[in-house]
Chains A and B, each alone.
Chain A
Amino acid sequence: NAGVTQTPKFQVLKTGQSMTLQCAQDMNHEYMSWYRQDPGMGLRLIHYSVGAGITDQGEVPNGYNVSRSTTEDFPLRLLSAAPSQTSVYFCASSYRAYNEQFFGPGTRLTVL
């Protein structure tokens, strides 16, 4: 099992550019989520999904879109990058919403 994989590991964008952060898991987990980690603020939930075709907003969804067309993949799209979106992004998955989550290695994003 590869677990939860994220690409890219690092990314630098200019303000206004768009991009997609990729997340995949091979554990047949129903629940997947995206968090951002900022110093002193812990992890904040951006979007989550309880299964293919079902997504919902978390705590800080503005400026981000998600889709879940398969069980394995849960990409995060930045529509028009802003400096405030400079952060480390983590994808996580679990069998069900109430189970412990497995985290990917993270993507460090800088928006200039």
Chain B
Amino acid sequence: AQSVAQPEDQVNVAEGNPLTVKCTYSVSGNPYLFWYVQYPNRGLQFLLKYITGDNLVKGSYGFEAEFNKSQTSFHLKKPSALVSDSALYFCAVRDITGGGNKLTFGTGTQLKVEL
């Protein structure tokens, strides 16, 4: 079975500081990994994905994520946070070999960026 863990319910960061939102996953085969963002009363928006290749993936709005196979992690990062980055962030995984066509989401991390 595939699963995703987002260990922090909330992350608080000062504007201009770097931010990290953590994600770890469990799959029996190889993973496809995704990050999505949700603003209040909106649907989810795609940020970035890892399929294969370079472990550092760059996405929308200056976000990036690093795939670490040995630690089974896919943490979301941004060098300098903005107040407008405040939102709910979801990590998701699909097991290429064992998970069929299902995408499993984490429980979400609320990011709060303050002045």
Contacts and interface: CB of A to CB of B under 8 A. Distances in A.
B73 interface: no
Interface in B73-115: 90, 94, 96, 100-108
Interface stretch (A11-19, A64-72, A74-82, A95-103): A95-103
Contacts of B51: 98
Interface residues of B, number: 24
Contacts of A59: 102, 104
Name the prevailing secondary structure of the B interface residues. Answer: loop
B102 A103 contact: no
Contacts of B108: 42
Given A90-B43, A103-B43, A103-B44, A97 B101 contact: yes
Given A48-B101, A98-B51, A101-B103, A43 B43 contact: no
Contacts of A31: 101
Given A98-B51, A98-B94, A100-B46, A43 B101 contact: no
B36 to A, nearest CB: 8
B103 A104 contact: no
A41 interface: yes
A58 B103 CA distance: 9
Q: How large is the interface on A (under 10, 10 to 19, 20 to 34, 35 or more residues)?
A: 20 to 34
A105 B44 CA distance: 8
A90 B94 CA distance: 18
A105 B107 contact: no
A110 B90 CA distance: 24
B103 A45 contact: yes
27 contacts: A4-B43, A31-B101, A33-B103, A40-B9, A40-B107, A41-B107, A42-B90, A42-B107, A43-B90, A43-B105, A44-B105, A48-B102, A50-B101, A58-B102, A90-B43, A92-B44, A97-B101, A98-B32, A98-B51, A100-B46, A100-B49, A101-B44, A103-B36, A103-B44, A105-B43, A106-B41, A106-B43
